[in-house]
Structure 1
Amino acid sequence: MIYNILLSLFPLLSAFPLFMMLVELHGKRPAARQLPWLAFACYMVLWNSVFTRFMAEHPVLWTLNPIGDIFMMLSFMFLFVREENRKAVEPIRKSYRVRSIVAFLIYIVSNVVCFHILRPPVFLIPLIVGALVVFYFDRLYSSLSYYPKTRIHLVFYFFIISTFLVLPLFRLFFIAQIGYVFMCRYRNWIAHKDRMIVQHDEERKMNHKIVTKMGETVNDFSDLHESLQNFLTNLAQGIEAKSAAIYIWDEKEQLFRCSDIYGVFFPLVRGNEMSFTHVETLKEIALSQNISEHDNIVWECGMSRIGTYVPFASQDGRILSLGSRAANIRSLILEPLNFNQQLLGVLVVENKLYERYFSESDYYLVQNFAHYATMILKANEAVMERQNQARTQAELQLGFHIQSGLLPHKIPEFDGISLAGSMTPAKEIGGDYFDFLNLPNGNLGIVIGDVSGKGVPAGMVMTSLYAFLHAECRYFVNSYRALVRVNSDLAGHISETMFASLLFFEWNPRSKALHYTSCGHEHILHFKKMDNSLDTIKSGGIALGMIDDNSKIIREKSLIVRPGDTVLLYTDGVTETANEKREMFGLERLKAFVEKYQALSANEIRLALLEELKSFAHGAPQADDITILVMKF
C-alpha cells in the first residue's frame, strides 16, 4: 500500500516544474529564453507519469527506461550550464556539449549490450556506467557554470542514489529536488524584478535631481568653463562619483585637451607621480597634458564614438597601462560628445564614492546627460561666433544647435517596417523632435513631438524631455505608462506657459503589431493598401506639461497595419507651410499627397513631400520647423 502511495506521488511532483514554468510565462518572463525550460518540464511530466508506467507493463521496453532517465539528466545539465554562463565574462566553451553527448552515447551502447547480448549479473555494468556518466555531467556543470550551486549538485547525487537503491522514496527525493530547483529559479526571478523596480525608482529620483540641478545652473553659455564646471559638479554629485573631467577634441592639432575637472581626478595618461599626489598637483598635471596616443582609452572612446564602461579598472589593460595612476582608478565611465558627425570631446567620470563601483545605471545616466555637455560646447561656440549679433538671434541659433543634437543620426532596421524621418529647421526654431528607441522588450519605439516656444527655452525643454523619455524607456512597459510618467516629470520642471505635443508608437517586429499613445499631437495619416483608402486619425490626448496628471486623458491604442500600408506622421510646420499669397498647405493637400505617393518607399515619400512643400511655398520663407516621419509596412 505504501509502495502504491509513493508511486502515485510521482506524477504530482513531476508536474511541479511545469507548474512553475507556466507561472513564469504568465508573469511575462522573457518567453524565448524559457522555451527550453518549458520543454524540459513537459518531458519530465510525460516521462515520470506516462512513459515509465507504460514501460513497466512491457518488459521488452525496459531498456529505454534508464536511457530516458540519463537523457533527462543530460538535458538538465545543458540547461543549467547555459543559464549560469549567461553571467560569465568569457564566452561559454562549446566543447562540453560534444563531450557530454559522447558520454551519453557510450551509456546507450553499454546499456543495449548488457541487456540484449550478455546475461546477468552483468546488468550491474550499465548501473555503474550510468552513475559515472551522471557524475561526469555534475563535474562538467561545476567546471563550466559561473557560480555552481549546491541544489544543482543534489539533483545529480539524488539521481545516482535512486539508480542503485531502486525504491520509490529515493526517486521522490530526486524529483522533489528538481522541483525545488525550479522553485528557486522563480524566487530568484521575482527578487530580481523587485530589485529592478527599486533600481528604476532610484534612477528616476537621481534623474530628476540631475535635471533640476542642470536647469538651475546650466543656463548661461557665455562662460564655457563655468558652464562645464557646473555640469560636471551636478553630474558627479548626482551619481555619487568622486571625480569627472571633459577632454575637448582639438581638430587642428589632432589631440584631446583636458578642459575642466571636478574632484580628485587622476589623469588618464602614464605618469611617474606618487599615488597620493596633492589634489591641486593632479589637477595641474591633467590640465597640462594632451592625449594623442592611439592606444589611450580616451582616444579609443573618441575615435570609435562609442561609450566605454569599465566597472572594474583592475581588470582592464588600458587602465593598467597608466602605471602608478592605475592603482587609484577603481571604476570608469567614458562617453563621447558628438554633434551630428562632429566629435567635440570625451566626458570621463572616475571612481564611485565610498569605494564602490559604477553600475550599469550609472553608465546609463552618464550617457543620458552627456547631451548637456554637448549642448554647452555647441552653444558656447554659437555664442562666440555671434557675439556681435543681437541676443534674440543668438538664442534662436542656440536652440537649433540644442535641438539638432538630439535627433537620431541613423534609421534603425526592424522586421516588417521601413522608416524614414527628417527635421528641416527654420530660421526661428520651434523645437521639433523625432526619435527611434530600442526598447528593452525587443520592440521599436517611434517618437515625434513639438515643443512650444522658441530658442534656448524650447531647446532646454526638449533636452529635458529627451532625458525623461529615455529614462522611462529603460524600464519600458508600454507607451501609455511611459508618457504618464514623463508628463509627471516634465510638468514640475518647465514653465507653465510651455508644453510639448508627442506621439509615441511601439512596433512589435514579432507579432507585427503597432500600438501608440498620443499627447495632443497632429493627425495620423494611415493609407490602407488592401482597401485603397486613407484614414485620417485624430491622435487625441493632451500635450505634455499642461497638467500634472494626464493618466485619465491619454490612453494607448492599436493601429492595425498590413503589408503595403503607409503611416505618415508630421508636425504643424508641414500643414502650416505658407506661400507668397499666405495660403497654407493644409491637411487636405497633405491627404491628397499621401494618396498619390503611397506606393513609393518610405524615404521616397519623405523626399517627395519636402519637394512638394518647397514647390508650394514658391520661395516664401519657412516659418517653422518641418518634421516628417514615414512608416512603410
Structure 2
Amino acid sequence: MQIVLTTLASAALYVIMGMSLMVIITEALRLPQGRRFHLFSLYYVLAIVNEILFVTLGERFYFAHVVIGSVLTTCAVVLLAETPFRKLRTLPVEFGGLLVMGVVLVFTVAFYAQRVVAGQDPYMRILATVNVFLFAIGNGVFVYRRFGEESYGYIAVLVLWLFSNFGFTDPSIFVNRVFAVLFFGSVALHVGSAAVSLHRQVVHENAMYLKARDVVSSMLHELSTAVKDIASIDSALHCVLDTTIKTAQAAGAAVFLVESGSQDESFLAFSQALGDFWPVHESSDVVFTKRKYAEHALEESAFKIGEGIVGTVAKYRTHAVLDLNYHRTEMERLGLNTRAIKNIMAVPFQVKDQVLGVLVVQNKHDDSGFDANDLHLIQALADQAAVSINNFKIYAQLAESEKMRQEMQIAARIQTSLLPLGVPDTKNLGVSAFMKPAKEVGGDYYDFIPYDEDKLGVVIGDVSGKGLPAGMIMIIANAIIKIVAVKTHDTKRIITEFSKEMHSKIQPGSFMTMNYLIWDGAARKLSYSGAGHEHIILYRKQSNDVERIKAGGLAVGLLDNVDGYISQNEIQTDAGDVIVLYTDGITEAVNSDRERYTLDRLVASVRRNVAKKDHERIRQGILDDVFEFMGGYEQYDDITLLVMRVL
C-alpha cells in the first residue's frame, strides 16, 4: 500500500510540474503540436521509468533515483511559476518571498524536530533542515537585491514539501528519499532560480537594447534622409541629443564641437545640451547649487585638446566611461563635477581620422551606471551621426556656394545692366571705356550723363565689398547720381548731394569712392570733384608730361554732410591731351610673384601709349600692358579703364 501511495503521489507531482515545464518549453520554442506531444510523452516516460526502477530495485537504485528525480523535479519547479502562479505576480515580491520563506522554515523545523527527538534517522533530517534554512536565507537576500522572481521558488519548495510528507508514516525509506530529493533539488533549485532571474534580466536588457537600437536606427535614418530639411546644424544636434537621452536612459547629454582659435589652435567649445546636464568640471568660483549658474558656466565652457575628459576623448579618439562608485579617484583627478555627476560617458564625433566633437552623457536614471550596451549604442550613434552631420555641413557649404553663385550671377547682370551701351558723341572729345569683372563680382561703376551737345558728365566709382550687396548699392547709386546730376553743372554740389542721399542707404562699414567730371567741349575744359577715388592721370601733349591729379574728397557713406571735404577744380586742356580714369583693380593687379602693378607702372604705360594718337588704341595698349604684367595670374578685383583724348 505504501509503495502504491508513494508512486501515485510522485506521479501526481510529476504531472503537475510536467505540465508547467512542457507549456513553457513548447511556448518558448514555438513548437508545432506534433513535437509538443513528443516532448510531453518523453517527460512522462522518464518519470514513470524512474518510479518503476525505484520500486523494483529499492535501495540499490537509491542514488540514481535521487539524481533523476531531483533533475526532473527541479526543472519543473523552477518554471512552475511561469503559468499556474502567474496571478501571484501582483503580490509584492518582498512580502511574498518572506512569507513563503517563513512558512517553509517553521514547518520544516517543527516537523523534523519531532522526528529528531524520536531518534528517527536524525542526521539526514538535520542536514536537510539546515539546507532548507540556508536556502531560504540565501534567497531572502536575493529578494532584496533585485532578483525578486525567486519568490516563486519558495512556493515550489513548499508544494514539494507538502506532496512529499503529507500522509506517509514510514521514515525508514520514504522520508530518506524525500529528504534526499529535497536536499539535491533545493540546491539545484537555488542555482536554477537564480539562472531564471538572470535569464529574465538578460532578456529584459536585450529587449531594451533592441528597442534602443531601433530608436537609434530610426533617428539615423531620419537624420540622413532629412538633411535638406534641417534648418541648421543645431537642429541636427538636437535630434542626436534627444535620441541619446532616450537610448541611454540618461538625465542629460551635451555636444562639444571642435573650433579653431588663435594661432590655428583647436579647442572644443560647448554647442548645446539637452535634459538635466551639469557642467562637466567643478569651478573654484561657483558652486553649482542653482541651475542658472550651472547653465551660464556650461555655455562658457571650452576645452583645449587633451584637457579634461572632453579634451582627452578628442585627443585620443576613444571613449571614456566613469562611475563615481568605482572610479572616484579618477573622476577627482580629472576635476569632474562629482557633486552633480554620478556617472558619465563621453564618445567622440569623428569621420575617419577627423574629430568633429565629443558627445557627453550624464547620470543614468537608475543609478546603475552606463554599461557595454549603452556604450555600443551611443558610440554607433555618434559615429553615424558624425557622418550625417558632416554630410549636412558639406551640403550646407554646397548650398551656400550655390547661393553665392546665384548672387554673383545676379550681381554680374546688375553690373552689366548699369554700364552705358555706348559713348555719346561729344564735341572735341574721344572716349573709350573698358571694364572686366573679376571672378568675384565687385562694385566698379562708370557712366556717361549728357547735358547737351557740348557738355558731358562722366562718373567713375568703386563700391566696397563684393557680390549682391555691392550690386544693390550700384543700382541705388546709378539712380541717385542721375537725379542729382541733371539739376546742376556744379561737380561739388553733385558730389555733396549724392553723398547726403546715399549716406542712409549704405550699411555701416560700407562705402563708395567716385570721381565726377564734366567736359565742356566748346572750351576744352574739364571740371571735376572727387569722393576719395583714385588719381586722375593727365598727359599734356605740349610738354609731353604726365600729371597725377589727386581728386581728393571723402568717400561716400562715411558722413552725412561732406560739404567741407569736397572741392571743385578745373583743368584746361589742349588738342592731343589725354585724360585717364581707372579703378584700383588696375593699380592693385598682381602677378605670380605677388608684385602689384602700381600707379607708377600705369603712368609709364600711359606715356608709352599716347603716341598711338587714338583713344581706342591707347586704351588697348594700356590694358595689354596690365594683363602682360599679370601673366595670367588670377584677377581679384574689377578692372575699369576710361581713356579720353582731346580732339
TM-score under structure 2 length normalisation: 0.37
Between structure 1 and structure 2, the one with the greater Rg is 2
